[in-house]
Amino acid sequence: MATYVIGFPRIGEQRELKKALEAYWSGKISQDELKQTASDLRKRHWTYQKNAGIDMISVNDFSFYDNMLDMTVMLNAVPEKYKDIDNCMDRYFAMARGDANHKAMEMTKWFNTNYHYIVPELDIDMDFKANIDKIVLEYNEAKELGIEPKVNLIGPITYVKLSKIVNGDEKAIIEKLVPVYKEIIAKLKELNPNVTIQMDEPYFVTNPTKEDLELLEKVYNELASDANIYVATYFEHSNEANEVLAKTPIKGMFLDFVHGSENSIKALVDAGKEVGIGIVNGRNVWVNDIEKSAAFVKGLTEAVESDKVHVGSSCSLLHVPYTLKYETKMDEDIKSWISYALEKLDEIRVINKLVKNEELSEYDKEVLEGNKIAIATRKTSSKIHDPIVQDRVSNLTEKDKHRSMPFEERIKLQHENLKYPILPTTTIGSFPQTPELRKLRRDFKNGLISEEDYKAQIKEMIKDLVKFQEEIGLDVLVHGEFERNDMVEYFGEQLNGVAFSQNGWVQSYGSRCVKPPLIYGDVSRPKDMTVEWITYAQSLTEKPMKGMLTGPVTMLNWSFVRDDQPKRTTAYQMAIAIRDEVEALEAAGIKVIQVDEAALREGYPLRNEKRAEYEDWAITSFRITTSSVKPETQIHTHMCYSEFSDIMDAIEDMDADVISIENARSDNSLLKIFKERGYKGEIGPGVYDIHSPRIPSKEEIVEQIEAILEVLPAEKVWINPDCGLKTRKWEEVKPSLKNMVDATIEVRKKL
């Protein structure tokens, strides 16, 4: 054994699994056909790995929906409410996505990735028992291909720590699950007495407590007593766990040396354990510097017997796209600088051979040669390096990071300038994206209609929307974002230094995939991006029109970001590019500008000690974008979540004039946090839940506003819905917003 991958993507290089799943859900194919597609895909993926010389190939990294959900089934931790469904596949999908009679289980982000898992709902009284049919099937399939696979499982501690506990306590549930895991292991050993098991315990990269570590030792003393267990951690270092696990009978650990370069292997090595050095990045697409990585691994493992050193991916390759094979339109240079999952397999193999001084094949030599050229050209290419952009970043001063007047003073000027009433009403920006609108944009992109035609039609929609907003009496209007397909892509497509792939799909949840932009070079804004639309909208009304932009941190957090300079530098470049747009809007007469930072929260590091550094560059970037405007220009920001308790310092530091937040589904406890802190800015808490097609009545919005006013003073409150109007239908949006404005008018009368 020598090379490994933590896991391989399963959705298919042309999203075959996505298509099959959706066909099955809509009744177009049978369960057997879906299973056949899955089986074909697994075989194809194993064959790729085998041919690439990967020694430890996983089974059970496949899933029809999610691996955490698979674990739930495997442990018989299925919540009672799904037990009435007999067919196990139907039950599985009911848990994953709901059905006519069942609500889906909750879904949330897997650590700091954009992958979402189905949150287990655990009850200590559940009848936990082992069911490994899924693994047996996959194991036998792999065997047929001549592969002796490693079996991936999510370890008991991570599984429970990431769950919602409905009844019982965490520790007791973990202890109750250990025998079930032992049962699973025993069954796996029936397949092969020497079976290799990978237990994923990424929970341990997030500042574990003393109790967590004691539990870890106890659990793995039991589980590993007579099995070949490798514990995998990823996305950060897991040094506390590494030391503890060294004392248990595990075989070794797979560690992330890309995002956890602080990982120490000393304790493990001293205890005679094997170590997996995850040096090929499973989270980003840039080519690995093969020689540099080989030298690093060599240095790190000098004192370790070579058969105890494995080279692999930093985490599952699930988080990167499949193969460059289908990128036929990408710039050849850019293409040479990236590797997707398949190309990463070659990197792993060649690094391993260099580390072990094994002879390179002709093909290996080609890979290495190509790699050296890519690394060299990337350092100097004029497609990447733009001295003007670099100068602008190095010339940033403190002044660029601060508004010219403190909030308390400038807000007065803004009130004079904008003359909005108490409890001003607005929306978060987007309006319904209808099938006709999507078709219009597609037709334009495909050259089926002229630019002139396209613009005229979008402007017609803007005109209707302005008219509607005026009719119902909103105070600060928006243009509706009809020209945007996606809040990051729209800007990415117009910026220098950002590229788009054709087939760079990454699974986000279930059958859903996203195609993140590639920030490959110095970022700049060659020309106006939104000014034409927004000034057109403003020309139709006397009311203030809010200019709508995506913030620098969100641009970065939803992209593949270059790894050849600090993230901070890229963020500052992005911040300056968007600032250019802010200034252009202001110069064109726009008085209110909203800079959305939807993804600020999810970019937080997993380790507490790294939070300050992130906040520093992230918040500074936002301030660079928004600080150069006149004091009377009002800056809004928007964040679509309701968890702020641990990031309030950062939020305050952003120094926005108005922040809109998601609130309709929470109980105003969020607002209490803003109040207790004495948050200085104005706040727009969402007053109705747009996630449901239901139209809220005027009365219930009145109630909601009054509840908000019990916490916050009316002078600070804006009235708006939560974000996401673009996902709704006009028939839902129009009456809802009218009720919102009417409700506000009623509350104002009582003030």
Q: What's the Cα-to-Cα distance from 674 to each of 120, 375, 403, 604, 678, rounded to whole Å?
A: 31, 48, 22, 20, 6
Three-class secondary structure of residue 724 per DSSP: coil
Report residue 186: phi and psi, to 5°: -60, -40
Cα separation, 407 vs 657, whole angstroms: 7
Q: Which residue in the shown chain puts its C-beta closest to ligand GLN?
A: 429
Question: Per CB under 5 A, does 38 bind Zn ion?
Answer: no
Q: Which of residues 198-217 bind ligand GLN (CB under 6 A)?
A: none
| Of 38, 105, 411, 487, the one binding ligand GLN by CB under 6 A | 487
Question: Per CB under 6 A, does 640 bind ligand GLN?
Answer: yes
Question: Per CB under 5 A, does 124 bind Zn ion?
Answer: no
Question: Per CB under 5 A, does 709 bind Zn ion?
Answer: no
Task: Provide the minimum distance between the beta carbon of 555 and ligand GLN in the complex, in angstroms, as a whole number.
Answer: 13
Out of ligand GLN, Zn ion, none, which partner does residue 726 contact, by CB within 5 to 8 A per kind? ligand GLN
Q: Are 348 and 309 in contact (CB under 8 A)?
A: no
Nearer to ligand GLN, 323 or 427 (CB): 427
Task: Provide the minimum distance between the beta carbon of 636 and Zn ion in the complex, in angstroms, as a whole number.
Answer: 12
Q: Are 128 and 75 in contact (CB under 8 A)?
A: yes
Question: Per CB under 6 A, does 364 bind ligand GLN?
Answer: no
Number of residues that bind ligand GLN (CB under 6 A): 11
Out of ligand GLN, Zn ion, none, which partner does residue 429 contact, by CB within 5 to 8 A per kind? ligand GLN
Q: Are 499 and 107 in contact (CB under 8 A)?
A: no
Burial annotation 184-215 (CB, 10 A radius, 16+ → b, else e): bbebbeebeeebbbbbbbbbbbbebeeebbeb
Task: Provide the minimum distance between the beta carbon of 68 and Zn ion in the complex, in angstroms, as a whole number.
Answer: 25
Out of ligand GLN, Zn ion, none, which partner does residue 487 contact, by CB within 5 to 8 A per kind? ligand GLN
**Site pattern 710..729 for Zn ion (x: CB under 5 A):** -------------x------
**Site pattern 509..548 for ligand GLN (x: CB under 6 A):** ---------------------------------------x
Cα separation, 610 vs 618, whole angstroms: 12
Out of ligand GLN, Zn ion, none, which partner does residue 71 contact, by CB within 5 to 8 A per kind? none
Query: Nearest CA to 620 among 593, 636, 594, 597?
Result: 597
Cα separation, 364 vs 145, whole angstroms: 24
End-to-end CA distance of the chain: 74
Tracing tokens 């848990």 back to the chain, one arrives at 95
| Of 213, 304, 396, 640, the one binding Zn ion by CB under 5 A | 640
Task: Provide the minimum distance between the beta carbon of 724 and ligand GLN in the complex, in angstroms, as a whole number.
Answer: 6
Cα separation, 51 vs 54, whole angstroms: 8
Q: Which of residues 442-481 bind ligand GLN (CB under 6 A)?
A: none
Nearer to ligand GLN, 198 or 637 (CB): 637
Q: Which of residues 377-436 bind ligand GLN (CB under 6 A)?
A: 428-430
> Which residues, in sequence order, are CB contacts of 137 under 8 Å at separation 6+?
none
Question: Per CB under 5 A, does 486 bind Zn ion?
Answer: no
Nearer to ligand GLN, 279 or 487 (CB): 487
Structure tokens at 219: 């659990």
Burial annotation 334-343 (CB, 10 A radius, 16+ → b, else e): bbbbbbbbbb
Nearer to ligand GLN, 9 or 547 (CB): 547
Q: Are 269 and 303 in contact (CB under 8 A)?
A: yes
**Site pattern 588..607 for Zn ion (x: CB under 5 A):** ----------x---------
Residues designated catalytic = 691
Tracing tokens 């709508």 back to the chain, one arrives at 548
Quick one: 713 exposed, middle or buried, by C-beta within 10 A (0-12, 13-18, 19+)?
Answer: exposed
Cα separation, 18 vs 221, whole angstroms: 40
Question: Per CB under 5 A, does 659 bind Zn ion?
Answer: no
Structure tokens at 203: 């929970």
| Of 69, 598, 647, 659, the one binding ligand GLN by CB under 6 A | 598
The binding site for Zn ion (CB under 5 A) comprises 598, 640, 723
The binding site for ligand GLN (CB under 6 A) comprises 428-430, 487, 548, 596, 598, 638, 640, 723, 726
